[in-house]
Amino acid sequence: MKIERYPEIKYDQFSIVGNRDQYYKNRINAEIAADEVIMLDDGQSGTTLDARITANASYTREFTWSITKSANPTQLNLSNGGTGTSQYTITVTKSQTTTDKAVISGVVTVINMGSAATEGLKIVAKLTKSPSMTVINSVNVDVSSNPVLDPGETGNYPYSLIIPTASIEVGAVYKVTADVTITNHSGHLGTPFGPSPSATATLLEPTLVNDSITVTDTNPGSGPYTFSASGTETYSVEYECPDDNGTHMNTATIEETGQKASASVTVNCSGDILKVSKDAKTTLTRTFNWNITKSAEPDNITLSVGGTAPVNYAVTVNETPVDSDWAVNGTITIQNVSGSSVTINKITDIISPDNIPANVVCNVTFPFTLAAGATLTCSYSANLPNGNTRLNEATVTIQVGAATIDIKASAVIDFSKAVINVEHECVKVQDTLQGELSPKLCVTDQLPKTFNYTRTIGPFESCGDFEVVNTASVRDFNSNVLLAQATNTVNVHIPCRGLIIKAVI
């Protein structure tokens, strides 16, 4: 193998300079083809780098908003055939303060100019504000996408640096310098060394985010409304008995942010009409999905016959909660507040959106006659596809002469106060070699949890290849049901000595 010695390489911000520059460029293809490695004084191989960096500035200024909604009056007491009006008011407030975010981002490009793969590649991007040389922010650039560059290979590594609030200035020039180092650089083996390319970017005027907003409303015929400053919009809704008996919920939404505000009006119809009310109780199941990993160091060992070696094991346990089985149930109460009996044809309960029908149980047969002053109580239940907030509306259809009248009541389905049925909240962690690692580990404990222990492998009485298999498992604390397990195998090799047989004739 050929040994050559060269003077130390130096870098400017873009490429290799010095009296070896042209030599490397002329030699690199020949070295790779011949599988020739340039050697340093200590007999170890090294390589060289070229690096570049780009820099782009972005600046956003985001406005924050709040929204409220009210109704006046919130309750209308009407007789049959009567009407009433309630005025809804939507108010939005634009904050006087903003959230400013300025970022310098780009890509660091690294090229392996030598004939050996890189080792210990590291990139640190540093930000300064010209003309000062003081570093105002820095970041370790993620090189995991391509941590080792083969000879002649190019790697591209994106970075992002936030400009501290106190250093944000429109028109200012910001400089990013990337310190690119490897630990097997020619002339610097074992010491981080490499080029430091830099680039500049000028910060322009900020892009405004949510400077104006659009508000939509669930009430038909109202909105959308556009606001560029704090303001108010009002609209009126007319209700009529008996059709509008019950609670009416309206919601206004800022489309850009998703913020919502709601207001409701309750219409009470009197006379020969029923008074209907309802509630909504929510439940869900929260299942904690446990996972476990197991590793051994080392996982390949070589022993002599009768020999032993320590192996360090690590078992890590964690969990992820998953919600399911969303459901709602409640009571529908129908009071006959009139002075005569009322015939109820049917009672239905619909959940919107998606028009999900609930199962209503009244323990009577329809048509049903509800006596004057009497009360009918029904229960209802429904399974739901998710935990979204919904509106639940019950409709009681009564017969009045030849006509039918629907009397309604509604309730909001809200899972923020749901009764939660928990599964696999606590577990036991066991190991086939170490035994019980934890008699009880719960989701309220510090997770993830790692258990470390050392086992002695061996001795073995004969030569050959052996496997030491070890399994760690997670079981439900109450039912002992297996939830997760991880297996690790340590491979053991015991060389066999050759036998020499001498035949004597």
Q: Report the alpha-carbon distance of residue 472 to residue 316 in Å, rounded.
A: 10
Q: Report the alpha-carbon distance of residue 193 to residue 10 in Å, rounded.
A: 10
pLDDT at site 78: 66
pLDDT at site 82: 56
Given pLDDT bands bounded at 50, 70 and 90, which one contains residue 32? very low
Higher pLDDT, 221 or 312: 312
CA angle 140, 142, 145 (to 5 degrees): 160
Given pLDDT bands bounded at 50, 70 and 90, which one contains residue 83? low
Q: Report the alpha-carbon distance of residue 410 to residue 76 in Å, rounded.
A: 16
> Residue 433: is its pLDDT beyond 60?
yes
Q: How far apart are the first and last CA of the chain?
A: 49
Q: Kindly state the average pLDDT of the residues 58-63.
A: 94
Provide CATH code, domain 291-315+423-494.
2.60.40.10
> Residue 288: is its pLDDT beyond 90?
yes
Residue-wise pLDDT tens digits, 266-278: 988 766 578 899 9
> For the ranges 170-174, 236-240, 438-442, which has the lowest average pLDDT?
236-240
Q: Report the alpha-carbon distance of residue 258 to residue 267 in Å, rounded.
A: 29
Q: Which of 99, 69, 103 is nearest to 211 (CA)?
A: 99
Domain 61-98+210-271 has CATH 2.60.40.10: yes
The fraction of the chain above a pLDDT of 70, given in percent, is 87
pTM, rounded to two decimals: 0.43
Q: Which of 230, 222, 233 is nearest to 89 (CA)?
A: 233
Q: Name the amino acid, one letter, at 479.
A: S
Q: Report the alpha-carbon distance of residue 170 to residue 163 in Å, rounded.
A: 12
The two three-digit tokens of residue 264, written as one number: 């409701």
Top-level CATH class of 277-285+324-420? mainly beta
Q: Which of 435, 148, 468, 472 is nearest to 298 (CA)?
A: 468
pLDDT at site 19: 40
Helix (H, G, I), strand (E, B) or coil at 473: strand
Higher pLDDT, 361 or 20: 361
Give bridge partners of residue 55 from the DSSP assignment. none
Given pLDDT bands bounded at 50, 70 and 90, which one contains residue 79? low
Domain boundaries, the chain: 10-57+107-197, 61-98+210-271, 277-285+324-420, 291-315+423-494
Place of tokens 């050559």: 4
Q: Which of 241, 262, 248 is nearest to 411 (CA)?
A: 248
Cβ–Cβ under 8 Å, residues 80 and 110 = no
> Residue 27: is its pLDDT beyond 50?
no
Q: Kindly state the average pLDDT of the residues 346-357.
A: 94
Q: Kindly state the average pLDDT of the residues 46-65.
A: 96
CATH pick for 10-57+107-197 out of 1.10.287, 3.90.1140, 2.60.40, 3.30.9: 2.60.40
CA 322 → CA 227, 284, 425, 441, distances in Å?
39, 10, 12, 18
Query: What size, in residues, is the chain?
Result: 505
